[in-house]
Structure 1
Amino acid sequence: MEILRSVCPRCGKPSAGLCNECRAAEVEWLKCEPRVESIYCPVCGSQRHGKTWTDTLVDHETLVHEIAYSALTLHPDLRGAEIAMTFKDPSPNRTFVDLTVTGTLYGVEVTGSCQVKIVWIKEQCDRCNRISGGYYEGIIQVRAVDRRPSDREMDQAARIAEETEDGLQEAGERLSFVSSIEEMKDGLDIVVGSQHIGHIVASTLCSTLGGKLSTHPKLVGEKDGKRLYRVTYLVRLPRFQIGDVVVVRGGYVEVRGTGHGRLQVYDLGDASAHFVSEDEVERFVGNVGDAQNALVTYHDGDVIGILDPKTQGPVECRAVPWLEVEDGGTIRVLRDDETERFVLVG
């Protein structure tokens, strides 16, 4: 009896019970799902998992590997598993993946292989379906008081909308998208897919560019017993924007802040800072963002010689105490078309 207990009952090798080789042989340690379906959006490439769509940030090869790994099941007692994988795409909607797995099971080296067929199924995702169907929940209208928003303001507004969209998409808010940005006769219209992104973009525009925000919701229907609204976000930019150079009491000042009909200005003559009423502005000259670099040819007392940035002809300007000037250096100037003078702005 003692001799029978010391051998493997299956192969007869010396063993206290079933030997490791026989244990490994009778265990199904490698399983593969022969067929896996992957539903993806042909427009943006996002993947559907159950009822949820997620953006895919990996290339085709990495995605194939991830799907094939998910179809693979290994025995929990397998140690040191190494997986080799090759695949081929015989057609746009089929991928065949060959997997070879090696490892150690109960101290015995094992090798196994299997094949997974990935079936690619095209389906338009929730976001692309809304975009292609013209769905939207809000329009951000960028306008200005007594003027048209400048190109700089509209470029900045479009950039804020796009950056906000990128941030929300990365955070998983797939339906917070910008469907269109269109330049209108009196400003810019930004059409958005959710009220959340609409509120964020409109609020950011006001805090960045100044101005006031008003919202105008409109009932467009009901779904599942809930009322559906589309909201117009009106961003009304101030009459003057930060960086504008205007004439007040015959002198040039730069707008540094706006609000409630008053302007915080910087005097480009004597470098003083004070407040003025918008009604005191005599005329608009330009914005410091449009200033040009001019070469300084000489500096003699309160006279500065420069080269006209446009014609390269010599021009004399009155020096200002707040601006340091070096011969051969450059200064930034704005052209006052009405007086044909240059305003030194930096």
Structure 2
Amino acid sequence: MVDILPSVCPRCGKPSVGLCRECRAAETAWLICDPRVESIYCPVCDSQKHGKTWSDTMVDRETLIRELAVSALHLHADVRGSEIVISSYDPSPNRTIARMDVSGTLYGVPVSGECTTKIVWRKEQCDRCNRISGGYYEGIIQVRATDRKLSGREMETAARIAEQTEDVLQEGGARLSFVSKIDETKDGLDIVVGSNQMGQAIASDITAALGGRLTTHPKLVGEKEGKRLFRITFLVRLPRYQKGDVVVQRGRYVEVRQTGHGQLQVFDLQDGTNRFIAEDEAERLVGNVGEAETALVAYLYDDIVGILDPKTQGAVECRVVPWLHPEEGGTVLVLRDPETRLFVLVG
């Protein structure tokens, strides 16, 4: 009778078919760290470079250190349930030492170890900041008004639209869509942009918000890789009157509600009706409801409302309009007519 010898681990002698789990885990290089990892970043905007591509980073430095340290860590494919604890310190302004304490299981055996990597921070101006600092641009949005100067509200609206469009496009990954400068000129507002896509979007949004019409004027400035390069001027021509303007038409005060194609949709501030008039029927501008002053209602008598002048606090009487229902002790919005020195009730 021949005795059958049990299978044993050739390394430790424990019963096993081949190497036992413990010896197999002990002989496996399960934890490897790259000694060095490099981070290329823009010192102006903190963008990160990955290969040849720049991207905006939305994480803080501690999170970035963790991401870079983990990228230098290589675990065996059979490690399960790994946990990583990272600590770091900066021996110099452009160096960070990251230590990683790693634990998990390999072939069912608990394993733990540590490794260290050096993070090298290297500065490089990104593609966007390089263009901005070099004065590069592809388009100019010129915001102008017909036969008048832009109002402060129109300038603020146009600038806000430009800034919001820049944020939306860059958040969507269009890094080279940037506003390089916004200049107030004697003629209006100039917005210089880094891409024609952005210029078209901003100009269209300004036209939609403020009215008027948009025309484009491209200029060939060269070629790149066989493609013609154009620099485009986007001219936004705002109408003579803007929304909220109060004008005099045939001796009546009317508020402009919409403009376009030489016509004005107006609200009659005396009888509360809406109608259309030709733009050239407006005799003169009184002001804009956005500049209206708040006046206290002192008394009501028949069809007369007595208000306190917001500047002098003297009593002024106005005729009550049917579309407005003031109350004693309440407030109304008024505009001063600079020509007749009368108050116009606008709300």
Q: TM-score, with normalisation over the residues of structure 1?
A: 0.98
Aligned partner letter, 2:4: E
Aligned partner letter, 1:203: S
Displacement of 1:135: 0.0
1:263-307 per-position Cα deviation (integer Å, ceiling 9, x unaligned) = 110000001111111111111000011111111111111111111
Displacement of 1:4: 4.6
Aligned partner letter, 2:45: C
The equivalences for 1:1-346 within 5 A come to 2-5=4-7, 7-346=8-347
1:222-252 per-position Cα deviation (integer Å, ceiling 9, x unaligned) = 2222221110000000000011000000010
% of aligned pairs identical?
69
1:15-66 per-position Cα deviation (integer Å, ceiling 9, x unaligned) = 2321111010011111111101111101000000011100011111000001
Aligned partner letter, 1:294: A
Partner SS state of residue 58, structure 1: coil
Q: Which moved more, 1:51-60 or 1:218-227?
A: 218-227
Q: Is the 8 A contact 2:289 2:346 kept in 1?
A: yes
Q: Distance in 2 between matches of 1:84 and 1:259?
A: 65
Aligned partner letter, 1:56: T
Aligned partner letter, 1:147: R
Partner SS state of residue 161, structure 2: helix
Partner SS state of residue 59, structure 2: coil
1:122-178 per-position Cα deviation (integer Å, ceiling 9, x unaligned) = 110000000000000000000010001111001000000000000000000000100
Q: Distance in 2 between matches of 1:261 and 1:2?
A: 107
Q: Distance in 2 between matches of 1:145 and 1:49?
A: 49
Q: Is the 8 A contact 2:6 2:15 kept in 1?
A: no
Partner SS state of residue 257, structure 1: strand
Displacement of 1:13: 1.6
Displacement of 1:104: 1.2
1:46-87 per-position Cα deviation (integer Å, ceiling 9, x unaligned) = 000011100011111000001111111111211111101000
Aligned partner letter, 2:86: M
Q: Distance in 1 between matches of 2:257 and 2:4?
A: 99
Q: Distance in 1 between matches of 2:61 and 2:136?
A: 30
Q: Is the 8 A contact 2:176 2:194 kept in 1?
A: yes
Partner SS state of residue 218, structure 1: strand
Q: Which moved more, 1:300-309 or 1:177-186?
A: 300-309
Q: Which moved more, 1:273-282 or 1:160-169?
A: 273-282
1:297/1:2 Cα in 2 relative to 1: closer, same or farther (>3 Å)?
Answer: farther
Aligned partner letter, 1:3: L
Q: Which moved more, 1:122-131 or 1:221-230?
A: 221-230
Q: Distance in 1 between matches of 2:84 and 2:14?
A: 31
Q: Distance in 1 between matches of 2:325 and 2:74?
A: 74
Q: Distance in 2 between matches of 1:231 and 1:310?
A: 48
Q: Distance in 1 between matches of 2:188 and 2:217?
A: 18
Q: TM-score, with normalisation over the residues of structure 2?
A: 0.98
Gaps of 5+ in 2: none
Q: Distance in 1 between matches of 2:187 and 2:309?
A: 33
Partner SS state of residue 3, structure 1: coil
Aligned partner letter, 1:102: S
